[in-house]
């Protein structure tokens, strides 16, 4: 069983980093559309999307944002982290079957347990698709817990 372990504010050092890879699948787009209510056909309808500047379906921009959030919550700093803010620029589209890499790097430690973290996402070709900076409140107490299992979802 995978454990989720945080890094406390005192344990964090400027330059600490983590990388998480994610293969973007059809299921991701459908679930994100369901949860967010964003049913823009550029994400869900290939015929419609073929006639856009993207020439095909793309993932929701905020899907990448959600993966950044998950990486902060589960990896760096991890459980107990409070998200305070996020600046984000979408540089390129993310497409179905892209493998994207979410890369976080501690940029600065601020007063009151706050931390600035670079939030970058790259596609499988090494091209940056998202650039940003998050501000979080890092946990002050060490935590290690088993990763909760998600119930199965059927369509």
Q: What is the arithmetic mean of pLDDT over 44-66?
A: 97
Residue among 87, 103, 90 at smallest CA distance from 63: 90
Number of helices (H), then strands (E), in the chain = 4, 7
Q: What is the arithmetic mean of pLDDT over 94-98?
A: 97
β 144-146/3-5 pair status:
antiparallel
3-143: CATH architecture: Roll (3.10)
Residue among 71, 75, 82, 84 at smallest CA distance from 144: 75
Residues 7-44 have pLDDT tens digits of: 999 999 999 999 999 999 999 999 999 999 999 999 99
- Spans of all domains in the chain: 3-143
Residues 59-71 have pLDDT tens digits of: 999 999 999 999 9
β 144-146/114-122 pair status:
unpaired
Residues 137-148 have pLDDT tens digits of: 999 999 999 999
Residue among 139, 87, 142 at smallest CA distance from 117: 87
């Amino acid at each position: 069983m995978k454990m989720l372990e945080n890094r406390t504010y005192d344990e964090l050092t400027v330059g600490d980093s983590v990388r998480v890879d994610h293969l973007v699948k059809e299921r991701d787009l459908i679930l994100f559309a369901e949860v967010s209510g964003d049913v823009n056909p550029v994400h869900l309808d290939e015929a419609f999307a073929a006639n856009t500047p993207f020439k095909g379906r793309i993932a929701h921009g905020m899907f990448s944002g959600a993966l950044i959030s998950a990486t902060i919550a589960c990896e760096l700093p991890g459980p107990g982290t409070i998200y305070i803010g996020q600046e984000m620029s979408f540089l390129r589209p993310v497409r179905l079957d892209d493998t994207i890499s979410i890369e976080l790097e501690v940029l600065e430690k601020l007063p009151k347990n706050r931390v600035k973290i670079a939030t970058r996402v790259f596609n499988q070709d090494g091209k940056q698709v998202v650039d940003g900076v998050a501000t979080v409140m890092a946990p002050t107490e060490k935590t290690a817990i088993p990763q909760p299992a998600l119930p199965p979802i059927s369509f």
